[in-house]
A and B are shown apart, each in its own frame.
Chain A
Amino acid sequence: MPDVSMTVNGRAVRGTAEGRTLLVEYLREHLHLTGTHVGCDTTQCGACVVHVDGLAVKSCTMLVLECEGSAVTTIEGLAPHGGSLHPMQAAFREHHALQCGYCTSGMVMMAVDIARRLDEPDEATIREELKGNICRCTGYHNIVTAIVAGAKAMAAERE
């Protein structure tokens, strides 16, 4: 089996994987980072969004071998262990933007990406930007509210 090495949540990782192993499978089953979830098998739902080299990607759509040498951040790496929540995570909690929690890590990783790219987008823009993320529980109302607030908090932190 081919070798693969990358940085995951700031930690150097080296291993072997079958060629057909998806990034999400590698994260969950090899590295046991189970915060990233799988909600479909056709790249529709976005539950598996992580950051690869700073960009949001659906980790069910990349083979792990494509990530050779990349820096991957998952939900577990967003806020330091034992430290306070990332502003976007905190906004999701404050605004009740999660119910079952299954889509949540993908939503938060996507939301961070949206806020980084667009600074402080309005609600309509956020709704468009979320076209690749499905939530069955919240009707998106509180997710959109949380992203507005989280993006604002991230902007304040940058200043």
Chain B
Amino acid sequence: MDNQTQNPDLHPPAAEGPSVGRPVRRLEDERLLRGGSRYVSDLIATSDALRVKILRSPHAHARILAVGATAARAMPGVVAVLTADDLAGVGALPCDWQAPGMIAVPLHPVLARDRARYVGEPIAAVAAESAHAAEDALAAIAVSYEVLLAVAEQEAAIEPGAAQLHDALPNNIGYQFRREGGDVERAFAEAEVVVRRRLTNNRVAPSPLEGRVVLSEFDPVSGRLVHHTASQLPHPHARSLGACLGLPLHKLRLVAPDIGGGFGAKLCFYAEDVICAFLSMRTGRPCAWSEGRGESFLATTHGRDHIQYAEIAASRDGRITGFRSRLLADIGAYAIGMGPGVPAINTGFSVSGPYNIPNVATEVVGVFTNRTPTGPYRGAGHPEATFLLERMVDELARELAMDPAEVRRVNFVSPSAMPHRMPTGWTLDSGDYAANLDAALELAGYRALRARQAALRAEGRFLGIGVATFSESSGVGPSIGMGSVGFRRAGHESARVVVHADGSATVFSGTMSTGQGHATSLAQVAADVLGLAPDEVEVVEGDTEAVPFGTGTFNSRSMAIGGTAVYEAARKLLDKARKIAAHKLQRRPADLTFEDGVFRPSDGLGVIPAAAHIGKKVEDKVVHAVFRRRMGMDLPPSDREAGTVTFADVAREAHLGHDLPMGMAPGLDETDFFDPVDMPSAYGTHIAVVEVDPETGQVALLRHVVVDDCGRIINPLLVEGQLHGGAAQGVGQALMEAMVHGMGGEPMVGSFEEYAMPRAADLPSFETGHTEVPTKLNPLGAKGVGEGATIGATPAVVNAVLDALAALGVTEVAMPMTPMHVWRAIERAREARGTKGGGDA
């Protein structure tokens, strides 16, 4: 991703259309609201598939001495039991983003053979006639373990003498990735102010409400496997499954129907996919597995989990001159999915955010521990970088007694300096950060808030105001850049647009909605090009047999990359339609306009004037209405308006082929693969307002303001939804959520009783606004929006709490800022100042 092309005129933004930019209500909602969902679990409920259950390691680190499955195999209803011994020839789970310079890549086995390295690691699997029978059989599998010392945290893991997970990785260090630009040593040597901190970015569970779920159906007669799975990456996961099982891709159809949320958790390719497919191939029966919530906390990738050492250098006027950090990122027990690459690249490259910091050095240390592997979680590396940077900018503001908003303002990369190459090598393509900040300050009523804060402080109340700005390199690509940083995925996205004989259209997209509303937003893009209404366009995703090879949905890329592919394919299709129309009208294609679904000669010659035509139009309408009432269908559109051709006429002609231009193939069917030259940088400002009760440590989030810039907005309704949901997840990490492990690596969280998901009463209504600076990196002008609010919300809330507590001498509270953490920090500060109050408990 180093090979930025900095051509500002690459793509002039496309014109606004009749549906793009408008709050079109979602086309998929009625089906979902009536209970017509098609999640994989719904397919399982109506199938006679064998039910699969997984036996998991209860130990964080243990040698497996023996697995006894004989008794389980003999139990009623049990059809097959799998242990590692049954999987000869089955490949390990792939790691598709290895950090540059990895010494060795310890892959996750499908089933553990000799050693288990985290609680929840699959040891054996049962397929039975019912879920109950499979569960009963799990209890009959006898595993003898020799428990080993475990490492449960990254700083302990790299200590000399710590237990070692993988023989090839001394000190449990997978990689040390360095990225430097400018003269950092000198910047710090000459700095007027230096602030240093150690921060932690807590481990969290993505927790889509639908867990992972698989239904695999092998047909022994044809040798074909149809594999249904909740995947954000249908094509890449088909490739992974084929590679593990030695199954060629023309015999493998992967289907991802409705998906109940992803947030990164469904980007990884997991053992249960291989297990169900293998069991189906072995038994000749469909095999299904649904993840229990308790399993999800153990066996689905977690997010974040950094220990961060940071130093910021600045001059007295607030200008940041250097930023140096060392990040210990917990990879967990194995390198799986995108795990190692996310912290190295996404965090390592983006630490300078929206600021013009000339000297930057980052070292990311990827550490293996006896915990569930980590992977991308909404923002994937950007939230970690933004938290780090925004905390440090606030610490700098406090040190200099400057307003935190002003420190940000003086350091922003200015619009005239765009595109701006960061010292790490990534590029900020476009944006007006100061305008965005100002919009947020105004929406929040920032000045009045500060006055209110001062007034309340006089009353002994602790209001906190937290500001955070961020930028995110969204819409990942290009393919060549991904290859250069070890990311074994394509950076392009596919779209195929087919117009049917009646003029309606189907869009096939390689993206995969997990709730973002692609059925509506991608339909809008195609509809505007083709002169259709959005509900005349059906969007098909998540079927490797129907959709051309595509990459999938992550890094907020669906609209910027996938939407552009739809746009380009639709434009190609319109070009062909225009040629057919021109042929019918005996004009040159360039001489036709296309508006409201009608091709007309731009000079108006040969068109019957509208006034003379009104009678015919009315007559047409009446005839259509009567016909529709009687037959329940519309008459085929007719070109009664002489001298013009409708899009539907062209569609009919394209399919009949009676009168096409010489040499033209019939049909309206175009495919595009869009591979961007760089990643558009989305950005935004968050302002959180909290009140902290110093006696209980309780934090009340009173207000949360988000002003986002995702470039051209395709559907403001959906963008708002992404901001709300994204912010809620960011707030959750700041205040509530944590995957907690004991000293021995044992998880202390196994259900929503222990994992504090934000609930309605924990959150305020969000106050949102937008600035709209389109990117020139794609013709839609669209940047990413799915992750931005998560990235900005966490540091804004944390900064607000610390702003409230500064008056009490508190300088640090670890996330999540639960009442216990906050109260302890207040007590520690009181003790340090010798003013311990009465709050003993």
Contacts and interface: CB of A to CB of B under 8 A. Distances in A.
B374 interface: no
Interface in A5-52: 18, 20, 28-29, 32-42, 44-45, 47
Contact of A93 (B26, B260, B290, B720): B26
Interface in B1-36: 25-26, 28-30, 32-36
Contacts of B207: 136
Contacts of B807: none
A158 interface: no
Interface in A68-102: 74-76, 78-79, 85, 89, 92-94, 96, 98-102
B237 to A, nearest CB: 18
A102 B761 CA distance: 20
A151 interface: no
Given A100-B210, A131-B760, A141-B766, A92 B33 contact: yes
Contact of A39 (B210, B515, B758): B210
Interface stretch (B140-148, B214-222, B722-730, B794-802): B722-730
A103 B765 contact: no
B35 A74 contact: yes
B557 to A, nearest CB: 18
Contacts of B25: 93-94, 96
Contact of B725 (A28, A92, A131, A139): A139
Given A136-B207, A136-B261, A127 B760 contact: yes
Contact of A42 (B42, B726, B752, B759): B752
B41 A100 contact: no
A144 interface: yes
A44 B209 contact: no
B751 A40 contact: yes
Given A32-B46, A123-B765, A104 B33 contact: yes
B246 interface: no
A131 B761 contact: yes
B836 interface: no
Given A105-B35, A136-B729, A37 B210 contact: yes
Contacts of B752: 40, 42, 44-45, 134
A32 B718 contact: no
Q: Which of B41, B208, B292, B721 has the most CB of A within 10 A?
A: B721
B725 A99 contact: yes
Contacts of A18: 132
A143 B760 contact: yes
A41 B752 CA distance: 9
B516 interface: yes
Contact of B41 (A20, A38, A128, A145): A38
Nearest to B520: A96
Contacts of B753: 42, 44
A32 B516 CA distance: 27
A138 B725 contact: yes
A47 B728 CA distance: 19
A29 B51 CA distance: 13
B721 A102 contact: no
Given A96-B717, A99-B721, A140 B760 contact: yes
A32 B35 CA distance: 11
Contact of A128 (B210, B263, B727, B761): B761
A57 interface: no
B209 A45 contact: yes
Contacts of B26: 93, 96, 98
Nearest to B260: A102
A134 B759 contact: yes
B610 interface: no
Contacts of B765: 123, 141, 144-145
Contacts of A99: 261, 515-517, 721, 725
Contact of B260 (A78, A100, A142, A145): A100
A36 B32 CA distance: 11
Nearest to B517: A99
B259 interface: yes
B209 A100 contact: yes
Interface string B26-56: 1011101111110101100110000000000
B33 A100 contact: no
B578 to A, nearest CB: 35
Contact of B46 (A34, A41, A75, A96): A34
B773 interface: no
B721 A142 contact: yes
Interface of B: 25-26, 28-30, 32-37, 39, 41-42, 45-46, 132, 207-211, 258-261, 263, 290, 292-294, 514-517, 717-718, 720-721, 724-729, 751-753, 757-761, 763, 765-766
27 contacts: A20-B132, A32-B46, A34-B41, A35-B34, A37-B210, A39-B211, A39-B260, A42-B751, A45-B752, A47-B209, A93-B25, A96-B25, A98-B26, A99-B515, A99-B517, A99-B721, A100-B258, A101-B32, A101-B260, A102-B39, A102-B261, A131-B760, A134-B752, A136-B208, A136-B209, A139-B727, A139-B763
Ranked 9 nearest A-B pairs via Cβ:
A35-B35, A100-B515, A102-B260, A139-B728, A44-B752, A99-B515, A101-B32, A139-B724, A34-B42
Given A102-B261, A140-B728, 11 more contacts: A29-B45, A33-B35, A34-B41, A44-B293, A89-B34, A100-B260, A105-B33, A133-B760, A142-B720, A142-B724, A144-B760
